[in-house]
C-alpha cells in the first residue's frame, strides 16, 4: 500500500471555482432562452446544478479510487467504448438532432458516447504506452497498434458526424505519444497525415466548407455562414474592460443562438469584460499547469501518461473553444470545460479531475 498524501489543492480549487462560476454563467446566459423555450427561466440552471452535483460525486469517487485499479478494467472500458460508439449509429437507437446522431438515452436523459470515448482512449493509451515503453520508437510494434485503435475510434466518431471530437481524440493521442518518447520524424509524419485528413473531411462536406470559408471572412455573410462568429465578436467587443454587468448581456436576447453552450465565453466577455475573460483564462492555465506538474511527478509511467492525457483533453477543449469564440479558428461544437451547459461533458470532466486528484496523492513531490 503506497502512502497517500492530500490531493493537490490547486487542482481542486481551480476546478471547483470554474464549476461554480460556470453554474452562475449558465443561468446568466440561458435565462432568456429557457423562458422562451420552456416558460421557465431556471430550466437550464436546475439541470446544470443536478449535473454539477453528479459530477462532484464522480470527482469524489475517483479521487479516492486508486488509479491503478483503473488499469485493471482497461479491456472492459475499451469494449464498452466501442459498443456505445456503434450503438449510437443505429437508426432509431441513436438520437438524431440537427443532422447528427451523437446521443443515446430516453427523453431528456441522454449521454454522448463520444464524451466517454475521450476518457476511454486516454485510459487505453496510458496502459498501452506503459506496457510498450521499450518499443515506442519502433513504428510497427510501438506506434502502429495505437494508431489502428485511435483510427477506429476517430472513424466511428466522425461518422456521427462529430469532427471536433474526432480532432480532439487524435490530438490527445498525438500528445501522449510525444510524452511517451515516440520518434519526432514519425510524429511529424503522423501530424502531416492527420492535418491532411482533417482538410479532406472539411472540404468534402458542404456545411464544413462553408464554416471554413466564413472563418476566413465572416463579415462577407453575416446573416448566414458568418452569423455565429460575428455575433460572438459583437459580444466580446461590447464588453470592454469591465463588461456591461453580470446578467446584462444583450447578445443573449436571441442574437447569439443558445449562448449557454459553445459560445458561453462570449457572454462572459460581454458581461464581465476583458478582466472577467482573463480571470477565466488564468484559472484554466493554472489548472493545466498543475495537471502537467502532476504528470511529471507521478510515481509510475501509467500515472504519468494518464495525467498527461487527462490534462491534455481539458487543455485542448479550452483552447479550441476560446479560439472559436474569438474567431481564431472555424466554428466547431466544442464546449468550454466546467462552464458550458451539458451533462455528459461536465460529468466526464469532473471524473477526469477526480482521477488527476488521485494521482496527485501519490506524487513524488509537491
- Which residues are registered as beta bridge partners of 94? 91
Residue among 346, 348, 355 at smallest CA distance from 23: 346
The total of other beta-carbon atoms located within 10 Å of residue 317's CB is 24
pLDDT of residue 108: 66
254's CB contacts (< 8 A; 6+ apart) are: 32, 33, 36
The total of other beta-carbon atoms located within 10 Å of residue 261's CB is 20
Instruction: Please give the grid coordinates belonging to residue 261.
Output: 453552450
Q: What's CA 222's distance to the chain center, in Å? A: 28
Question: CA–CA separation, 325 vs 259, rounded Å?
Answer: 11
Helix, strand, coil percentages in the chain from 3-state DSSP, rounded to 5: 70, 5, 25
Cell 475499451 belongs to residue: 78
Helix residue ranges per DSSP H, 73-183: 74-87, 113-131, 144-159, 163-179
Question: Do residues 264 and 296 lie in contact, with contact meaning Cβ atoms separated by under 8 Å?
Answer: no
DSSP string, 310-354: HHHHHHHHHHHHHHHHTTSS-------TTTSS-HHHHHHHHHHHH
Question: Do residues 314 and 336 lie in contact, with contact meaning Cβ atoms separated by under 8 Å?
Answer: no
pLDDT of residue 49: 96
> Helices 9-38 and 264-297 sit at what angle, rounded to 10 degrees?
150
pLDDT of residue 106: 67
Question: CA–CA separation, 317 vs 337, rounded Å?
Answer: 7
The Cβ-side half-sphere exposure at 127, using a 13 Å CA radius, reads 18
Instruction: State the maximum Cα–Cα separation within the chain, in Å, rounded to a whole number.
Output: 63
pLDDT tens for the chain, 366 residues: list them: 466 789 999 999 999 999 999 999 999 999 999 999 889 999 999 999 999 999 999 999 999 999 999 999 999 999 999 999 999 888 878 887 766 778 787 666 778 889 999 999 999 999 999 998 888 888 888 899 999 999 999 999 998 888 889 999 999 999 999 999 888 898 898 889 888 988 888 877 767 777 777 777 887 778 777 788 889 999 999 999 999 999 999 999 988 888 999 999 999 999 999 999 999 999 999 999 999 999 999 999 999 999 999 999 999 999 999 999 998 888 888 899 999 998 889 999 999 999 999 999 998 765
237 burial via Cβ count (<10 Å: 0-12, 13-18, 19+)? exposed
166 to 66, 190, 208, 320, 357: CA distances (angstroms): 29, 15, 14, 13, 27
Rg (CA), the chain: 20
Question: CA–CA separation, 260 vs 250, rounded Å?
Answer: 14
Question: CA–CA separation, 259 vs 276, rounded Å?
Answer: 17
Instruction: Please give the grid coordinates belonging to residue 88.
Output: 449510437
pLDDT of residue 1: 45
**CA–CA–CA angle 12, 16, 22 (5° rounding):** 150
Residues in the chain, overall count: 366
140's CB contacts (< 8 A; 6+ apart) are: none
User: How do the domains of the chain map onto residue ranges?
Assistant: 9-360
Amino acid at each position: 500500500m503506497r502512502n497517500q498524501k492530500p490531493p493537490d489543492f490547486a487542482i481542486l480549487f481551480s476546478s471547483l471555482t470554474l464549476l461554480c462560476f460556470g453554474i452562475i454563467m449558465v443561468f446568466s446566459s440561458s435565462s432568456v432562452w429557457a423562458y422562451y423555450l420552456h416558460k421557465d427561466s431556471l430550466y437550464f440552471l436546475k439541470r446544470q446544478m443536478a449535473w454539477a452535483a453528479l459530477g462532484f460525486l464522480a470527482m469524489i469517487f475517483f479521487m479516492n479510487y486508486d488509479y491503478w485499479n483503473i488499469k485493471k478494467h482497461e479491456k472492459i472500458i475499451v469494449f464498452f467504448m466501442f459498443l456505445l460508439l456503434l450503438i449510437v449509429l443505429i437508426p432509431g437507437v441513436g438520437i438524431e438532432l440537427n443532422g447528427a446522431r451523437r446521443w443515446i438515452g430516453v427523453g431528456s436523459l441522454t449521454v454522448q458516447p463520444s464524451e466517454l470515448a475521450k476518457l476511454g482512449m486516454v485510459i487505453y493509451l496510458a496502459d498501452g504506452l506503459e506496457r510498450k515503453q521499450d518499443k515506442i520508437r519502433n513504428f510497427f510494434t510501438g506506434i502502429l497498434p495505437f494508431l489502428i485503435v485511435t483510427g477506429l475510434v476517430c472513424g466511428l466518431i466522425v461518422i456521427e458526424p462529430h469532427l471536433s471530437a474526432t480532432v480532439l481524440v487524435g490530438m490527445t493521442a498525438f500528445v501522449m505519444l510525444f510524452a511517451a518518447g515516440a520518434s519526432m520524424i514519425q510524429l511529424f509524419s503522423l501530424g502531416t497525415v492527420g492535418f491532411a485528413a482533417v482538410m479532406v473531411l472539411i472540404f468534402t462536406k458542404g456545411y464544413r466548407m462553408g464554416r471554413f470559408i466564413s472563418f476566413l471572412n465572416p463579415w462577407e455573410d453575416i446573416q448566414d455562414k458568418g452569423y455565429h462568429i460575428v455575433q460572438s465578436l459583437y459580444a466580446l467587443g461590447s464588453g470592454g474592460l469591465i463588461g456591461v454587468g453580470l446578467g446584462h448581456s444583450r447578445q443573449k436576447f436571441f442574437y447569439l443562438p443558445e449562448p449557454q453552450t459553445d459560445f458561453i465565453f462570449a457572454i462572459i466577455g460581454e458581461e464581465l469584460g476583458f478582466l472577467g475573460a482573463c480571470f477565466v483564462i488564468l484559472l484554466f492555465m493554472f489548472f493545466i499547469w498543475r495537471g502537467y506538474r502532476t504528470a511529471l511527478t507521478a510515481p509510475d509511467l501509467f500515472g504519468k501518461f494518464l495525467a498527461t492525457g487527462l490534462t491534455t483533453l481539458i487543455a485542448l477543449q479550452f483552447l479550441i473553444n476560446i479560439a472559436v469564440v474569438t474567431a481564431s479558428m472555424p466554428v466547431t461544437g466544442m464546449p468550454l470545460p466546467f462552464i458550458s451547459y451539458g451533462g455528459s461533458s461536465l460529468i466526464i470532466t469532473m471524473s477526469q479531475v477526480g482521477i488527476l486528484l488521485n494521482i496527485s496523492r501519490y506524487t513524488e513531490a509537491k
